[in-house]
Structure 1
């Protein structure tokens, strides 16, 4: 069981909003500007932490950098993610992601800031998380 995070990028600040359950950290690595509408954030979840169901009007790419985590799109089975995995989430697909129950999880979240920002939805229930 691997529970301590050794992130590739700086861990960042603790996320302090209702869009995450458990403890998660965010460090923005790239912010958009007039030349490039791309944003990149390093997100680190402690074991059991996850975000809410949400969607990205501009889509999202996740590059897993450490730990073991989960990713699930609405209506599909949950996927187990490990270091080196890549998820390409199409625009407006409801999904969630977070750490497994017994491991930290870190990923780079890449998005298109030319589109509407994240649309946050309902929390992921314990039943959904554990299924």
Structure 2
């Protein structure tokens, strides 16, 4: 068992992996190859393209956003929705143009970042 105190959580600098204003709050430092963070996106902000070695779970806590797999169309996600992104699936996610969105992101394994979404 491990208890993570607030004082153990440090800031995360993600300026090279997002477009727009995004606030990352680590919930649990990387433990057993799992990283958990609360991520808040300003309207229209989003991640760059990326993929996860063992997948990612997104739990939308507030607001409305978009998630998109490479080659697909952006899908609307809302508070209460859960998104499972399989291992190796290239994707992006972020807030809708007219809404702030916060999600809990559980990333499994290494995250491989790519280019900004066009």
Distance in structure 2 (CA, Å) of the matches to 1:14 and 1:47: 20
Matching residue of 2:67: 71
Matching residue of 1:7: none
Matching residue of 1:118: 111
Displacement, 1:64? 0.2
What runs of 5+ residues in structure 1 fail to find an aligned partner? 1-11, 126-131
Displacement, 1:13? 5.4
| Post-superposition CA distance 1:38-92 (Å, at most 9, x none) | 3210000000101101000111000000001000001112110000000000001
Query: TM-score normalized by structure 2?
Result: 0.85
The within-5 A match list for 1:58-97 is 58-97=54-93
Distance in structure 1 (CA, Å) of the matches to 2:40 and 2:13: 10
TM-align CA RMSD: 1.7
Q: Which of 23, 26, 39 is the matching residue for 2:24?
A: 26
Q: Judging by fraction of residues, say which structure has more strand.
A: 2
Going from structure 1 to structure 2, the CA distance change for 1:16 and 1:60 (only over 3 Å counts) comes to closer
- The count of residues paired between Structure 1 and Structure 2 equals 109
Query: TM-score normalized by structure 1?
Result: 0.77
Displacement, 1:16? 4.9
What runs of 5+ residues in structure 2 fail to find an aligned partner? 1-9
